[in-house]
Amino acid sequence: MPTFASSDQIRDQFSRAMSAMYKTEVPQYGTLLDLVADINRATLADDGALRAQLETADELRRLDVERHGAIRLGTARELADMRRIFRVMGMHPVGYYDLSVAGVPVHATAFRPVDDAALRTNPFRVFTSLLRLELIADPALREEAQAILARRAIFTPRALALTALAEEAGGLTKAQAAEFVQEVTQTFRWHSEATVSHARYRQLHAAHRLVADVVSFKGPHINHLTPRTLDIDAAQAEMPRRGIAAKEVVEGPPRRKHAILLRQTSFKALEEPIVFADDGADGSHSARFGEIEQRGMALTRAGRALYDELLAGVRSMQGAGSASADYSERLAAAFRDFPDDLDQLLERGLAFFRWRVLDADGLARVAASGAPFDLQALRAKGLVAASPIVYEDFLPVSAAGIFQSNLGGAEQKSYAANAAQEAFEAALGAPVADEIALYAQSQQASIDTVRAQYQAAVLSR
Ligand code: OOG
Ligand code: NI
């Protein structure tokens, strides 16, 4: 048996390779990384409680490497191969995101590690969209786009060969893994040469800027990589000081004592020179941008429903896009109805928690007394503790806000809301995992571990 590189190692190498590549391609991304590293250092120095909490959860280790990226694919075949490739790195499709509601003709999933140990090592995630050509109104243009996409091959032959090898052999040796990472990274490079003429590009662009972005190029360039900050308001304030034009408002929930879900901000996409296929005509295209995010706790279905309801209330008010002047105040006001207290979040079942034993002897004594297993009672006695589980996924409304800010406010197409999860999964060749079920499993596994320890004490009584 050869020794295989673990999928965690391959993913870690891949995320580092992508980060190094994007840094050379988009120097402002490097500035963003420095900014986030500085803010995280300062935040950890100032906030001992936060540091302790991250240490307990073994989360400090991953913070420096933690990123997500985003790509946009053109065909079912590309998506299916993408799934096979990400699987070699321990990244699996989680969640379904319908962005047509936001006027963006794509639907998406997030490829990410799913088990707790893999997430702790390197939680690299890639938000992966699939273009929905059926949403292009003009049938001639739709067919043309389809034909253009059918001609391209976004993966190198070697990347596909190594993927097949990994599938057959059950893994890749260290040398093969290094080559695999090298080959797969090529797919996400920037190409300043379009595969289409300038005229065709303009036609695609008129259908939707995103259609042009997906169809006009050789491959799905990575369009941003996002580091995780511990204080997004500080990061937002710091961006202009470092010469980065930040988006007006932070997407997601307002600032709170106990962060929930995900808050994100970004800088606008760069206008980049492009050489078109016909006469070498010059033009430009904007696709690539920078983003920063702060992650909070994962919410249960009840918590998520409350979040969606409160956010919708703020967003649906007259002229109340996230760009309006008093948005932050209205958002904060609306979210006063979302408890910002760990006991309440736990007791009302709004968030997911990971349980652990604090005092094994004390636990054993209670178990030996014959008391039935009661987590809340054990917690009240200080024998076990519960800490929030980090949200590892995305938010469609925020994603839409980020898409919109990059498309320039003018681009507001509307499509009827038409989630098509089945069609997406058919293209993918597999169902997507339900993210809420994954958090629930993770919470339950931690409870089971505490319970097993309790029962062992009962038996050895
Ligand atoms: C993806 C936008 C979604 C996020 O952080 O919500 C995303 C895209 O622009 O392709 O990355
Ligand atoms: Ni993003």
Shared-domain flag, residues 90 and 198: yes
Cα separation, 444 vs 228, whole angstroms: 27
Q: Tell whether ligand 1 has an atom less than 6 A from the beta carbon of residue 266.
A: no
Q: Per residue of the chain (461 residues), give pLDDT as tens.
A: 679 999 999 999 999 999 999 999 999 999 999 999 999 999 999 999 999 989 988 889 899 899 999 999 999 999 999 999 999 999 999 999 998 877 889 999 999 999 999 999 999 999 999 999 999 989 999 999 999 999 999 999 999 999 999 999 999 999 999 999 999 999 999 999 999 999 999 999 999 999 999 999 999 999 999 999 999 999 999 999 999 988 888 989 999 999 999 999 998 888 999 999 987 778 999 989 999 999 999 999 999 999 999 998 887 654 445 666 788 899 999 999 999 999 999 999 999 999 999 999 999 999 999 999 999 999 999 999 999 999 999 997 777 777 766 665 544 556 655 679 999 999 999 999 999 999 999 999 999 999 999 999 888 86
Shared-domain flag, residues 317 and 423: no
Shared-domain flag, residues 310 and 197: no
The Å distance, Cα 402 to ligand 1 centre, comes to: 7
Q: Which atom of ligand 1 is nearest to the CA of 72?
A: 10
The Å distance, Cα 303 to ligand 1 centre, comes to: 23
Q: Tell whether ligand 1 has an atom less than 6 A from the beta carbon of residue 129.
A: yes
Question: pLDDT at position 132, please?
Answer: 95
Which residue minimizes the CA distance to atom 2 of ligand 1? 399
The residues near 288 (Cβ < 8 Å, ≥ 6 apart) are 25, 26, 190, 221, 222, 223, 224, 269, 270, 272
- Is residue 160 exposed (0-12), middle (13-18) or buried (19+ Cβ within 10 Å)? middle
The Å distance, Cα 444 to ligand 2 centre, comes to: 29
Query: Is the CB of residue 260 less than 8 Å from the CB of residue 297?
Result: yes
Shared-domain flag, residues 445 and 369: yes
Question: pLDDT at position 405, please?
Answer: 65
Q: Tell whether ligand 1 has an atom less than 6 A from the beta carbon of residue 378.
A: no
Question: pLDDT at position 319, please?
Answer: 47
Shared-domain flag, residues 416 and 402: yes
Q: For residue 294, give both structure tokens.
A: 């702060």
The predicted model scores a pTM of: 0.95
The Å distance, Cα 70 to ligand 1 centre, comes to: 6
Question: pLDDT at position 417, please?
Answer: 56
Q: Tell whether ligand 1 has an atom less than 6 A from the beta carbon of residue 402.
A: yes
Output the CA torsion sign for 254, 259, 261, 265: positive
Which residue minimizes the CA distance to atom 5 of ligand 1? 399
Where do runs of H (alpha helix) occur along 197-300?
A: 198-207, 209-215, 232-241
Q: Tell whether ligand 1 has an atom less than 6 A from the beta carbon of residue 70.
A: yes
Question: pLDDT at position 406, please?
Answer: 65
Q: Tell whether ligand 1 has an atom less than 6 A from the beta carbon of residue 223.
A: yes
The Å distance, Cα 71 to ligand 1 centre, comes to: 8
Question: pLDDT at position 100, please?
Answer: 84
Question: pLDDT at position 321, please?
Answer: 56
Q: Which atom of ligand 1 is nearest to the CA of 394?
A: 6
Q: Report if residue 346 sits inside a domain.
A: no
Shared-domain flag, residues 336 and 415: no
Q: Report if residue 345 sits inside a domain.
A: no
Least Cα distance to 291 among 15, 9, 36 occurs for 36
Q: Tell whether ligand 1 has an atom less than 6 A from the beta carbon of residue 289.
A: no
**Number of domains forming the structure of the chain:** 3
Which residue minimizes the CA distance to atom 6 of ligand 1? 399
Shared-domain flag, residues 308 and 420: no
Q: Which domain holds residue 312?
A: 299-340
Shared-domain flag, residues 162 and 40: yes
Question: pLDDT at position 164, please?
Answer: 98
Which residue minimizes the CA distance to atom 9 of ligand 1? 403
Amino acid sitting at position 45:
A
Shared-domain flag, residues 405 and 441: no
Mutate to test the pocket of ligand 1, among 98, 99, 127 (most ligand atoms within 8 A of CB): 127
Give the residue carrying structure tokens 């490079």: 189
Q: Tell whether ligand 1 has an atom less than 6 A from the beta carbon of residue 97.
A: no
Shared-domain flag, residues 235 and 335: no
The Å distance, Cα 69 to ligand 2 centre, comes to: 6
Q: Report if residue 146 sits inside a domain.
A: yes
Question: pLDDT at position 457, please?
Answer: 86
Cα separation, 8 vs 119, whole angstroms: 9
Which residue minimizes the CA distance to atom 11 of ligand 1? 70
Question: pLDDT at position 249, please?
Answer: 85
Q: Tell whether ligand 1 has an atom less than 6 A from the beta carbon of residue 400.
A: no
